[in-house]
């Protein structure tokens, strides 16, 4: 069964997945027929009236935030936070009209500051109800929040990757949750989101030298399965031991389906790359079957599946030999890295879709190093920034990781071919490049 339904009354088609399935103006999800404006769905579009779209989006956001403010019990949230710090008092700003207007826009989460009387600051991270997760089933929302918490706890306790400390996680479906919504309590880290293009050559090198160490730390912690991190047991104190973590199913939207009984079907975990790629392609073929240009997309997926033998021999993947898998941040556009004023990486944030992957896919360069314009024109060569990262990794003696970055373009193309939200025009470009690189 499809994961989503079209929100138009009477329409029985599946709602499209990802941001492209949600109307920018009314924030509702539609099928392939009704996502575009028509007499049945008559929202303004960015082409026809950008201001009207922005006005409607802002109105929806304010309605969403007011609804959240009504459900959220700030007194209880402050009591919970305080109890986790031996009764240290704290304050949380009241969610009045003016404050709600100043909350940062966009993204899938809302962050509330918790300021303790001794100056310590925490963040309460709450998943947004609207945007692309509007209709995500509750058990899937739980899985996303728990996987993010597990990933942060694992990285903080087992690796040298700098991440905010997590103090409490309450999944959205939790009963008797007096706070009123699911949430994650975590350390507030100083530092600003990185704007890679504004950095000079020296600062870029400084950041990449730290990133090389971070890649290496992740490389030192292999897992036997492909999937997302999962917490084995409570309470949080137990998370400091490696046995507290295991790899469970994938939580990304593209890997979800709905079962007959209404519960969510998850993909994975997988013991081999071959098994993972085959399952992903099968799932994608189902996802795109209600899309525009579905015929070409499906034929790409079938051809992609046929190419897996070549891919396996290129990368040395084997369906029978045990493989090692490594954690990858799945949204590495650059603003996930927080820097201080002298370009030290103080934290890497937003790990909510992180999953394990085989070596070549886990350690291809992060997206912010890719020359995106050239990439979307179908060029296969590495950018200057990617070449610098290769040099830095080699200087540090990480030859395996340097090789992954040097040969990373094929991994990028494969990732975009497996992304259910890739634009159909772009798929053609990824597909042509993928075929050149694998031949």
Q: Name the residue nearer to Zn ion (CB basis): 21 or 408.
A: 21
Instruction: Kindly state whether residue 11 participates in binding Zn ion, applying the rule CB under 5 A.
Output: yes
Going along 232-378, which residue ranges are E strands?
245-248, 256-258, 264-266, 325-328, 337-339, 345-348, 355-358
Instruction: Kindly state whether residue 103 participates in binding Zn ion, applying the rule CB under 5 A.
Output: no
Among 17, 29, 34, 291, binds Zn ion (CB under 5 A): 34
**If binding means CB under 5 A, how many residues of this protein chain bind Zn ion?**
10
Instruction: Kindly state whether residue 152 participates in binding Zn ion, applying the rule CB under 5 A.
Output: no
Among 23, 78, 247, 410, binds Zn ion (CB under 5 A): 23
Instruction: Kindly state whether residue 6 participates in binding Zn ion, applying the rule CB under 5 A.
Output: yes
Binding track, positions 251-280, relative to Zn ion; x by CB under 5 A: ------------------------------
Q: Take residue 379 and report the two structure tokens written for it.
A: 């060029």
Angle between helices 308-315 and 294-306 (to 10 degrees): 50
Instruction: Kindly state whether residue 31 participates in binding Zn ion, applying the rule CB under 5 A.
Output: yes
Q: 180: alpha, beta or left, given left = phi > 0 and alpha = psi -120 to 50? A: left
Binding track, positions 43-62, relative to Zn ion; x by CB under 5 A: x-------------------
Q: Take residue 338 and report the two structure tokens written for it.
A: 């927080």
Q: Distance between CA atoms of 383 and 8, rounded to whole angstroms?
A: 44
Q: Name the residue nearer to Zn ion (CB basis): 26 or 149.
A: 26
Q: Name the residue nearer to Zn ion (CB basis): 8 or 143.
A: 8
Q: Distance between CA atoms of 238 and 315, rounded to whole angstroms?
A: 37
What is residue 1's three-state secondary structure? coil
| CB 354, CB 151: distance < 8 Å | yes
Q: Name the residue nearer to Zn ion (CB basis): 132 or 273.
A: 132
Instruction: Kindly state whether residue 411 participates in binding Zn ion, applying the rule CB under 5 A.
Output: no
Instruction: Kindly state whether residue 25 participates in binding Zn ion, applying the rule CB under 5 A.
Output: yes
Q: Distance between CA atoms of 207 and 199, rounded to whole angstroms?
A: 10
Other CB atoms within a 10 A radius of the CB of residue 9 amount to 6
Q: Name the residue nearer to Zn ion (CB basis): 39 or 197.
A: 39
Piece of 5-13, 183-191, 245-253, 365-373 that binds Zn ion (CB under 5 A):
5-13
* Smallest separation, CB 292 to Zn ion (Å): 13
Q: Name the residue nearer to Zn ion (CB basis): 41 or 398.
A: 41
Alpha-carbon radius of gyration of the chain: 22
User: Measuring CA to CA, which residue among 263, 84, 273, 89 is closest to residue 185?
Assistant: 84
Instruction: Kindly state whether residue 32 participates in binding Zn ion, applying the rule CB under 5 A.
Output: no
Q: Name the residue nearer to Zn ion (CB basis): 177 or 258.
A: 258
Q: Name the residue nearer to Zn ion (CB basis): 13 or 92.
A: 13
Piece of 22-30, 80-88, 199-207, 276-284 that binds Zn ion (CB under 5 A):
22-30
Instruction: Kindly state whether residue 24 participates in binding Zn ion, applying the rule CB under 5 A.
Output: no
Piece of 9-17, 156-164, 348-356, 427-435 that binds Zn ion (CB under 5 A):
9-17
Q: CA 202 → CA 206, 208, 211, 315, distances in Å? A: 6, 10, 14, 34
What does the DSSP assignment read for 156-223? HHHS----PPEEEEE-TT-TT-TTSS-EEEEEPPP-EE--GGG--HHHHHHHHHHHHHHHHHHHTS-B
Residues in touch with Zn ion (CB under 5 A):
6, 8, 11, 13, 23, 25-26, 31, 34, 43
């Amino acid at each position: 069964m499809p994961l989503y339904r079209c929100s138009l009354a009477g329409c029985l088609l599946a709602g499209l997945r990802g941001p492209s399935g949600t109307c920018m103006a009314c924030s509702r999800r539609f099928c392939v027929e009704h996502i575009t404006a028509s007499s049945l769905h008559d929202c303004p579009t960015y082409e026809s009236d950008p201001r009207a779209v922005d006005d409607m989006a802002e109105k929806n956001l304010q309605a969403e935030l007011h609804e959240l403010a009504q459900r959220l019990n700030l007194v209880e949230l402050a009591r919970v936070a305080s109890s986790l710090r031996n009764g240290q008092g704290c304050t949380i700003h009241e969610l009045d009209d003016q404050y709600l207007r100043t909350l940062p826009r966009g993204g899938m989460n809302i962050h509330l500051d918790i300021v303790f009387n001794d100056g310590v600051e925490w963040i309460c991270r709450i998943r947004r109800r609207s945007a692309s997760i509007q209709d995500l089933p509750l058990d899937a929302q739980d899985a996303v929040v728990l996987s993010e918490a597990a990933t942060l706890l694992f990285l903080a306790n087992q690796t040298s990757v700098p991440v905010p400390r997590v103090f409490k996680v309450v999944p959205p479906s939790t009963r008797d949750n007096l706070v009123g919504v699911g949430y994650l309590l975590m350390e507030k880290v100083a530092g600003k989101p990185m704007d890679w293009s504004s950095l000079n050559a020296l600062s870029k090198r400084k950041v990449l030298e730290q990133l090389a160490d971070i890649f290496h730390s992740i490389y030192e912690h292999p897992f036997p399965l492909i999937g997302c991190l999962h917490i084995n047991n409570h309470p949080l104190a137990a998370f400091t031991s490696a046995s507290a973590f295991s790899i469970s199913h994938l939580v990304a939207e593209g890997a979800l389906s709905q079962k007959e009984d209404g519960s969510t079907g998850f993909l994975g975990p997988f013991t081999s790359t071959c098994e993972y790629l085959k399952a992903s392609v099968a799932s994608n073929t189902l996802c795109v079957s209600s899309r525009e240009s579905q015929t070409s997309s499906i034929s790409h997926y079938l051809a992609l599946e046929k190419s897996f033998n070549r891919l396996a021999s290129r990368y040395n993947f084997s369906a029978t030999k045990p493989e090692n898998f490594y954690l990858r941040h799945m949204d590495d556009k650059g603003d996930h890295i927080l820097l201080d004023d002298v370009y030290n990486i103080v934290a890497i944030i937003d790990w909510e879709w992180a999953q394990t992957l085989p070596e070549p896919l886990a350690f291809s360069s992060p997206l912010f190093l890719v020359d995106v314009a050239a990439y979307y024109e179908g060029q296969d060569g590495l950018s200057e920034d990617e070449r610098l990262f290769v040099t830095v990794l080699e200087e540090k003696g990480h030859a395996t990781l340097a090789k992954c970055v040097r040969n990373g373009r094929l991994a990028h193309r494969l990732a975009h071919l497996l992304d259910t939200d890739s634009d159909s025009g772009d798929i053609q470009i990824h597909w042509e490049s993928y075929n050149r690189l694998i031949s």
